[in-house]
């Protein structure tokens, strides 16, 4: 019994196999290759270096302005660099909830629009992270 041509299985062409391998192994995005992977520790170190507030001080349940701002900077840059969910960032820095992290980002955005010294601080932290 002969099998019709449309039902025959031909062996794959070697060029197709090689092309498939090249497509499967290429990087997904060119920025993925060049982008530096940033984690929460790097953000904390950058903010600590620029503000002089230690991580232990950021973890305290205090509302002193200089400590609060340092914590807000960490929340802002962690969210900006997409390190994790808002809930994760808040739990790691000061045991805060997601709404506090979102509020921190809004406050820092307001600072950046109005205060030149805060823009300079943000540029320094950004430069340190890149």
Q: For the chain, give the number of residues.
A: 130
| Whole-number Å distance between alpha carbons of 76 and 56 | 18
pLDDT over 60 (residue 8): no
Cβ pair 112, 96 in contact under 8 A: no
Nearest to 125 by CA among 32, 71, 44, 67: 44
pLDDT tier, 122 (very low <50, low <70, confident <90, very high otherwise): very high
Q: For the chain, list the domains and their CATH numbers.
A: 40-129 (1.10.1750.10)
| Whole-number Å distance between alpha carbons of 80 and 75 | 8
Chain segment 59-92, per-residue pLDDT in tens? 999 999 999 999 999 999 999 999 889 999 999 9
Q: Is the pTM of this model over 0.85?
A: no
Give me 90's structure tokens: 């808040």
Percentages of the chain per state (helix, strand, coil), in multiples of 5: 70, 0, 30
């Amino acid at each position: 019994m002969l099998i019709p041509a449309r039902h025959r299985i031909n062996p794959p062409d070697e060029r197709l196999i090689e092309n498939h391998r090249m497509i499967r192994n290429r990087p997904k995005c060119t920025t993925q290759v060049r982008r530096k992977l940033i984690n929460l520790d790097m953000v904390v170190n950058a903010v600590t270096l620029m503000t002089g507030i230690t991580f232990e001080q950021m973890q305290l349940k205090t509302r002193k302005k200089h400590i609060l701002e340092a914590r807000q900077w960490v929340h802002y840059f962690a969210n900006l660099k997409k390190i994790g969910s808002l809930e994760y960032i808040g739990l790691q820095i000061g045991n805060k909830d997601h709404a506090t992290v979102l509020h921190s980002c809004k406050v820092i955005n307001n600072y950046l629009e109005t205060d030149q010294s805060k823009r300079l601080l943000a540029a320094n932290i950004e430069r340190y992270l890149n």
